[in-house]
């Protein structure tokens, strides 16, 4: 049995929640109203990728890869994505390069991003070299690649029909994925 993951307690977890408007042919969070979430310093930097993957699997997701992030903006129309930073630091862009509502964010080891279906994302800069994440998806979901190009209209429409999580992929029965907008905003004000 893998060792229990050392997580930041929910009472002191710092989160960021961003509602990113649709832009051009990128749906972002508009179709479903679920925010891009970041759990800052969620797990200890000494966490092994395999113990993180076991933990994610125990909360209803399927870890599928260890890799960096593509430098081309893309989104997934069929699933939400859980990205857990296991090595390095990076600057990421969410929402599309020209979108006035885009989010640029620095992430490092221990950070977790919950990227809802439809949210465009890409790597802006690998700060230290060797940036790597564990990518995981809700069980039973498979990911596709969409780029906000003409001809993908039916895919952007499908984004709003992707079922939300039944459990938080990191914290289980409670956790930011399960919270409503008001509780997320309250939690950020308290920290």
* More reliable by pLDDT, 118 or 151: 118
Structural domain includes residue 83:
yes
- Identify the burial level of 125 via C-beta atoms within 10 angstroms of its C-beta, where 0-12 means exposed, 13-18 middle and 19 or more buried: middle
In a domain, 183, yes or no: yes
Residue 190: the pLDDT is 59
CB count in 10 Å sphere of residue 6: 11
Residue 186 has pLDDT above 50, yes or no: yes
Mean pLDDT in residue range 170-180? 94
- Residue 3 is predicted with a pLDDT of 55
Residues 51-73: what's their mean pLDDT?
Answer: 97
Q: Is 4 within the bounds of a domain?
A: no
- Tell me, what's the pLDDT at 185? 82
Task: Give the count of domains, the chain.
Answer: 1
Q: Per-residue pLDDT for 191 more than 70?
A: no
Which H helix or E strand runs over 50?
Answer: helix 49-58
> Confidence band (pLDDT; 50, 70, 90) for 43?
very high
Instruction: Give the pLDDT of residue 45.
Output: 94
The reported pLDDT for the residue numbered 189 is 64
Whether residue 5 is contained in a domain is answered as: no
Q: What is the pLDDT of residue 30?
A: 94
Domain-located, residue 104: yes
- Does the pLDDT at position 38 exceed 80? yes
29 domain-assigned: yes
DSSP structure string for 57-117: HHTTEEEEEEE---SS-BB-SS--EEEEEEESEEEEEES-TT-TT-EEEEEETT-EEEE-T
Residue 49 is predicted with a pLDDT of 96
Query: Does the residue 100 lie in any domain?
Result: yes
Task: Give the containing element (helix H, strand E) for 122.
Answer: strand 121-126
Say what the pLDDT of residue 1 is.
44
**Each residue's pLDDT tens digit, 85-117:** 999 999 999 999 999 999 999 999 999 999 999
**CATH code for the domain in which residue 151 is found:** 2.60.120.10
Q: Is residue 1 part of a domain?
A: no
**In terms of residue numbers, what domain contains 22?**
10-188
């Amino acid at each position: 049995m893998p060792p229990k993951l050392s997580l930041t307690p929910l009472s002191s977890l710092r989160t960021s929640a961003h509602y990113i408007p649709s832009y051009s042919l990128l749906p972002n969070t508009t179709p479903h109203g679920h925010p891009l979430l970041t759990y800052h310093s969620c797990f200890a930097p000494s966490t092994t990728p395999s113990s993180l993957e076991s933990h994610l699997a125990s909360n209803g997701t399927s870890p599928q890869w260890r890799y960096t992030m593509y430098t081309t903006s893309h989104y997934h129309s069929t699933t939400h994505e859980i990205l857990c930073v296991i090595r390095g630091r990076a600057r990421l862009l969410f929402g599309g390069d020209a979108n006035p509502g885009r989010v640029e964010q620095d992430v490092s080891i221990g950070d977790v991003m919950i990227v809802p279906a439809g949210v465009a994302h890409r790597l802006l800069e690998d700060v230290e070299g060797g940036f790597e994440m564990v990518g995981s998806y809700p069980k039973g979901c498979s990911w596709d690649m969409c780029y906000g190009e003409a001809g993908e209209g039916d895919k952007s429409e499908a984004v709003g029909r992707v079922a939300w999580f039944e459990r938080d992929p990191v914290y289980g029965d409670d956790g930011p994925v399960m919270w409503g907008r008001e509780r997320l905003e309250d939690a950020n004000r308290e920290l």
